[in-house]
Every structure is written in C-alpha cells, then in structure tokens.
Amino acid sequence: MKFIGAVLIFCLLFLTVLSPGCVSPPQKGTSEVSNVSESSGVAITPEIFEASSLMFVTEDYPPFNYVENGTIQGIAVDLLRGVAKEMGDVNSPDNIMVVPWSKAWATTLERNNTVLFATVRLPEREELFKWAGPLGSERKVIFARQGTSPEITGPDDLAGYLIGVVRDDAAYGELLALGVGKEQLIEMGNVPALISLIQDGEIDFWCYGDLAGRYFAEKETGDPDYFEIVYTLDTHDLYFAFNRNTPDSVVQAFQEALDTLRYQPDEAGVIEYQRIAYQYIGVSCLSHPPVTADQVKGLVNFTAEAMEKDAPGTLARINSGEHPFWDRDNRALYVFVYDTNVTIIAEADNPRLIGVNMVGKTDIAGTPFRDLIINKALAEGTGWVDYIWMIPEENGIYQKSAYFRLVKGNNDNRYIVVSGMYIPCKQD
C-alpha cells in the first residue's frame, strides 16, 4: 500500500477521536461546543477534546454538513467517513464538533491537528491552512425577498443596499472584492439571524451558498423558494482545511483517500462520490450546459480522424490530457476511448480509469451505459446513449448523453471514441 507510514500516522490520530454515536448542535446564540454520544450519554467537553490529537469542526451548512434529528450528516461528512474507511480505519469519525462558523474558524487556526470543513479555498486563505480536496464546489448567491428587489445585473447595482453575511464566511471577502463597501455588509452569527433581519426589513439582501441557502429558507419559512436569487458570484471549490501544524504525511494520506472516493469506480462501476451526491441531492439538470452537442460531435470526429492516422500516438496524447482531447478552456469537454471489450484504453480527465474493464458496470441508476455504447457502436457505427454522471467541478450528478463513433486505427484495431454533454433542463 502506498504511503504506509502516512496511513499509520493518520489512523493513529483518528483512533484518538473516534467513538460511535451522534452529535447535538449547539443552541442558537451560543458559541459553546457540545458533542453527545448516545451510546454513553456522556457530554464530551472542549477540555476532553483538547487531549485528542485530531479534531474535526464544522457548522450547519447543508447539504455538505448539517445536523438533522440529532445526527451529523451531509456530503462532506460522508466523504470524511469514507476517507477513514479507505485508510483502513474500521470506525468512522462521528466525534465532529458542530459550532457557529466563526468558532470553527478560530478553533482551527489556534488548535494543532484540527480540521475545518467544508470551506472555500481562497488566495487570502492559502497560507492559513493545509488543504485537502476539493470535496465539491459551491456558488455564493445574493438572495432577496420574492418580488421586492430591483434588477441586479452587476456589482455596481449593489451600491446603497445592505447585505447580510455570516461572520467569517467567504461571502464577506468576495463581496468586498466586487467593490461592495464594508459599511454595506451586516455580519451575523448564523443564517436564521440573517433571515430574520431581511424579514424585518433591516437588510435588503443576504449572501450565502445556493444549496445551503435554499435549505435554510425552507427550514425557517417552509418554502425553499421563499427568496429569489438576484445575483450570482463566482463558483469556488470546497476543501478540508487542516491546522498548519498538522503533519504533511497526514494531509497527503487524507488527500489520496479522498481522491479515490471522488474518482475511482467501485466493483459496480460507480464512484462513491456519486452515491453520496445521489443520496443528498438526487439527479439534476443544467440550465446552461458547458458543452454543446456540436462541440461533442466535433471532438469525437477530430479524435477518430487522428486515430485513423496514428492510433498509438493519439491514445498517448489523450492519456496525458493534452488539448484538445481535454479542452484547456472548457474542462467539461474531454474524450475517452474503449476497445471492443468495453475496456477503457484512453481517458483524458481521469487516468485512474485507464485499463479498467467496464463490462456490466452501471451508473448510479443502474444503467449499463458503457455496454450500450459499445453494442450500438458495433451495430450502428455512431449514435447517442443517455446516462447519469458527475461534473468534476460541480456538486451533484446530472443527466448526460454520450456521443460515440466506431473507428479503425492505423494499427487495424477497432476503437470506440466517446465524448459527452450534460442534458439541458427542459424549458417551460
């Protein structure tokens, strides 16, 4: 096994904090930390945690990490548990402290061997932590009450409005970078407080993550669409942030295990990240997919023609991720190649899949789309097959369609060249 020393160190650290049970979130309005094990009924105080070698801290930020019915769950939490198992730990890290974000942030900066999740990795934060990820992505958006907001077409239109943000959340810095004045930003300790302010007319907007904001809107008002999105900020990756004094070997081992969960198919052909996203988010569509059908067909045809001239060289270029086989300007556009036995022999964006036989392996919904691609290619030469897949730079899983073409290389071998596009949402 790779990095045996790193794994042993990591597992030793994990064992000091692992115990079965659930966690209880702190009461609103307090920064006190609590974590109660149902199996023992013993409250684990910050002093007891101080004796631990590794500690995980987070906030209520669905669907990544949140408390429901007394249990901590979410995409990031399940990935964390998966990392522990991937590294040979039979337990799972259920001793996770759920606190207000500002408390989690300060604790990670001050306490050795502490891990904060899930948080945005920004240039101004780079030297504050050691990083493992990404575990997903998020986009910050600006919410307003339905039907009460003027049209916001750019940052200049935000002038003069009061905007609520969670204290120490990345939204604060992002808004400042857009030119929003500090005097316009109202910081509160949690999202329910922001919702109360906008309902009372004390602020005009509030800024938070899209998915998490909708979750809290439903929780506080009963309607996930109670607020409308009037402006969208940039999309950023989310990471596990380690205290700077955490050993590099621990962070490196954590990163490798996380990469396996995000990119390595299991025996059924499904990536564990897809299982987790499917559970919490379900299947989505994209209003404006990053790739068009014409782009997909163009890339497949370009690759097929290259294979006819130089199959070995083209396969090598694909596997090295060269442009245009993995588009440098649009990372959602890439090509992959099967042989007639449904083995992946070239994959531009995920080299872990090269050499893997995919016969009988399915997507998360049980569709053996790879078998369908090869069978249709051998029978018809070219066409489309629909399935469900993830976007590496986005959250969740999406409806996708693959265009394929059967080609005979200059070495007389037959190949199936494939590229895919995400299916756009149906317009009303």
Give the DSSP per-residue string, 45-104.
-HHHHHT-S-EEEE--BTTTBEEETTEEESHHHHHHHHHHHHTT-SS----EEE--HHHH
List the domain boundaries for the chain: 4-135+237-282, 138-236, 293-422
**Please, which residues have CB within 8 angstroms of residue 35's CB and are 6 or more apart in sequence?**
23, 24, 43, 44, 49, 95, 96, 97, 98
- 293-422, what's its fold? Beta-Lactamase (3.30.450)
**Please, which residues have CB within 8 angstroms of residue 199's CB and are 6 or more apart in sequence?**
145
Place of tokens 């794994």: 7
Segment 386-420, tens digit of pLDDT: 999 876 556 668 889 999 999 999 999 999 999 99
pTM above 0.75, yes or no: no
Cα-to-chain-centroid distance, residue 347: 21
Report the half-sphere exposure of 13 (CA within 13 A, side-chain side). Answer: 23
pLDDT in tens, the chain (428 residues): 444 444 444 444 444 433 333 333 333 333 333 333 322 222 223 332 232 357 899 998 888 999 988 889 999 999 999 988 888 765 556 578 999 999 999 999 999 989 999 998 989 999 999 999 998 888 899 999 987 767 888 999 999 999 999 998 989 999 999 999 999 999 999 999 999 999 999 999 999 998 888 888 888 998 888 898 889 898 888 999 999 999 999 899 999 999 999 888 888 878 898 888 888 877 877 767 889 999 999 999 999 999 999 999 999 999 999 999 999 999 889 999 999 999 999 999 888 889 999 999 999 889 999 999 999 999 999 999 999 987 655 666 888 999 999 999 999 999 999 999 999 876 44
Spatial CA neighbour of 233 closest among 209, 204, 203: 209
Equal CATH topology for 4-135+237-282 and 293-422: no
User: Which two structure tokens, joined as six digits, stand for 45?
Assistant: 């105080």
Task: Please provide the CATH number assigned to the domain covering 4-135+237-282.
Answer: 3.40.190.10
User: Which two structure tokens, joined as six digits, stand for 240?
Assistant: 């596990």
Task: Tell which CATH classification among 3.40.640.10, 3.40.50.720, 3.90.1300.10, 3.40.190.10 matches the domain 138-236.
Answer: 3.40.190.10
Sign of CA dihedral 9, 12, 16, 18: positive
Residues in the chain: 428
- Side chain identity at residue 15, one-letter code: L
DSSP secondary structure letters along 96-131: EEE--HHHHHHHHHHSTTEEEEEEE--GGGGGGEEE
